[in-house]
Amino acid sequence: MSVFVDEAQLNVRGGDGGAGCVSFRREGPVAFGGPNGGDGGKGGDVWLVADRNAASLLAFRDHPHRRAANGVHGKGKDLHGRRGEDLIVPVPEGTIARDMYTGEILADLVHHGDRWLAASGGRGGRGNHKFMSNKRRAPTFAEQGEEGFERWLKLELKLMADVALVGFPNAGKSTFISTVSAAKPKIANYPFTTLEPHLGVVRVDDTTEFVMADIPGLIEGASEGKGLGHQFLRHIERARVLCYLIDLVALDGIEPDEQLEILQREVENYSPELLSRPSLIVGTKTDSVPSEVVEQWPHMSMSSITTQNVRQVVNALAQSVSEARQQEPTHEATIIMRPEPEHSWVEKLGDNEYRVHGRGAERAVALNDVTTPEALNYIDGRLSKLGVPKLLTRAGVVEGDVVWIAEFSFEFTPEM
């Protein structure tokens, strides 16, 4: 059974914020002191972090849910709740995170240490001491904690390799990588022996090494999805150098020159930029063809079985990789964040029923008890400052319509 997984679904949810506390001083002779309810702690965030020690997305195949810890509720005596711990989710270098429903690319974690805030934790609720004012000397309400943000993601892995081996099935890719590295892909004399990519570290000398990827064999029409073409071609996008392995034994009647033409055409159709990537063309299986075929071949050639010219090919690849690395800018680990919008907007749910969206409006009604006149007056004032009544009027809401904000609903009146 394959243990390499390059696509997975992931559900991430930030921790819920802790609730604020309603409390008053009760110290010594002070019978009715001021409010001293502490704030709730913020919920933990969920971060995706590129980790060179993660090899595939296998960890998400059977366990797709990741949730950060909740914040702790506030307490009396101005004791604030503890913040929930963040959850770090390691993913392989080269992982792309997309919105599962829209397909939008949200993050591209290319290098070790790249971080992305996948789901933010909910803010902690404010304790009643935060609501004290000249008009409200003893507030009897506090906020509930905000729920953590939740979303479904589609993760895609594009292998990070210095060299990607590109060729038809049975062109000798697996034999080559097993000869020059410790990778041990399955090798046999039938098409599509390799059904998943393999990585191998090629050590040239004490100071020079590079990562090579054995990409499953491509066939004509791969750029259109034939033979799992899109899944295979995806893994050459990150490679610094492409190595086209051409079977000098006419493979299924396809001559070497025609093999190269088909492979380059499929690569170009998939991504034209890849055709300008540094590349090396190498003929394989020189031990199985007459010497005149090798002499007429205008590119490098080798035999992975006898190791003839293998060292020369490895040195040429190492040189190309070194040149490509020198042209790349120095990379520092980055933090990619996508803040959620704070503005409010109105959605029509049906006849005479509407919902107000927006963290500001939802936070305004996040109170423990909305049945007291004091709490309702506070909500009314906050919504007015946010311009919610004007938004509702512009959306066509009329007196008597039901308006929802989070889990709170009320009948709209123009004087609200």
Task: Note the pLDDT of residue 1.
Answer: 35
pLDDT digits (tens, 9 = 90+) for 348-395: 888 889 998 887 888 788 766 677 788 888 888 888 888 888 888 888
Same domain assignment for residues 46 and 187: no
Q: Who wins on pLDDT, 209 or 97?
A: 97
Contact between 405 and 361 (Cβ < 8 Å): yes
CATH code assigned at 369: 3.30.300.350
Q: 2 in a domain, yes or no?
A: no
Annotate 180-197 with DSSP letters as a single string.
Answer: HSS------SSTT---S-
Same domain assignment for residues 47 and 11: yes
Q: What share of the chain is helix, strand, coil (3-state, %, to 5)?
A: 25, 25, 50
Task: Note the pLDDT of residue 33.
Answer: 72
Q: Which residue range(s) make up the domain with 349?
A: 345-411
Q: Which of 102-106, 229-233, 361-365, 386-390 has the highest mean pLDDT?
A: 102-106
Residue 249 has pLDDT above 90, yes or no: no
pTM value?
0.67
Same domain assignment for residues 215 and 307: yes
Q: Who wins on pLDDT, 293 or 233?
A: 293
Angle CA 320–324–330, to nearest 5? 150
CATH code assigned at 136: 2.70.210.12
Same domain assignment for residues 106 and 184: no
Task: Note the pLDDT of residue 222.
Answer: 42
Task: Note the pLDDT of residue 29.
Answer: 66
Contact between 127 and 20 (Cβ < 8 Å): yes
Task: Look at the block and give the residue holding tokens 């025609």.
Answer: 258
Window from 17-31, 128-142, 185-199, 320-334 with minimum mean pLDDT: 185-199
Mark out the alpha helices in 338-414 (DSSP H runs). Answer: 359-364, 373-385, 388-394
Task: Note the pLDDT of residue 40.
Answer: 93
Residue at which a domain ends, from 326, 354, 388 = 326
